[in-house]
């Protein structure tokens, strides 16, 4: 009997990076002002859902890089505002 795995190692690593980005984004959303948190969380979720079915590894890597850059900018903005 041969077992078939739905992911190869690279798929597994990319999936882990996407989940890490999602968790990081949600943690960053918690730094937002109380009135903006729910909307920011919804935007994060919507972005993830929009690209959920993407199977192109190069595109996924691009989206991860773009997400990290956007989070970096958001964190810098919160830092300038003195957000914890």
Q: Work out the average pLDDT over 28-49.
A: 96
Q: Work out the average pLDDT over 40-69.
A: 96
Q: Residue 84 has what pLDDT?
A: 75
Tokens 């959303």, located at residue: 29
Average pLDDT, the chain: 92
Q: Residue 3 has what pLDDT?
A: 53
Q: What is the largest CA-CA distance in the chain?
A: 59
Q: Work out the average pLDDT over 67-83.
A: 93
Domain segments of the chain as ranges: 37-77
Q: Is the pLDDT of residue 1 over 70?
A: no
Q: Is the pLDDT of residue 22 over 90?
A: yes
In three-state secondary structure terms, 82 is coil
Helix axes 9-29, 57-80, angle to 10 degrees: 20
In terms of residues, how long is the chain? 84
């Amino acid at each position: 009997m041969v077992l078939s795995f739905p992911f190869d190692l690279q798929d597994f690593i990319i999936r882990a990076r996407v989940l890490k980005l999602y968790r990081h984004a949600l943690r960053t959303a918690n730094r937002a002002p109380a009135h903006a948190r729910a909307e920011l969380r919804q935007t994060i979720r919507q972005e993830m859902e929009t690209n959920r079915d993407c199977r192109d590894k190069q595109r996924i890597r691009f989206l991860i890089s773009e997400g990290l850059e956007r989070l970096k900018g958001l964190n810098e903005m919160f830092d300038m505002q003195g957000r914890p």
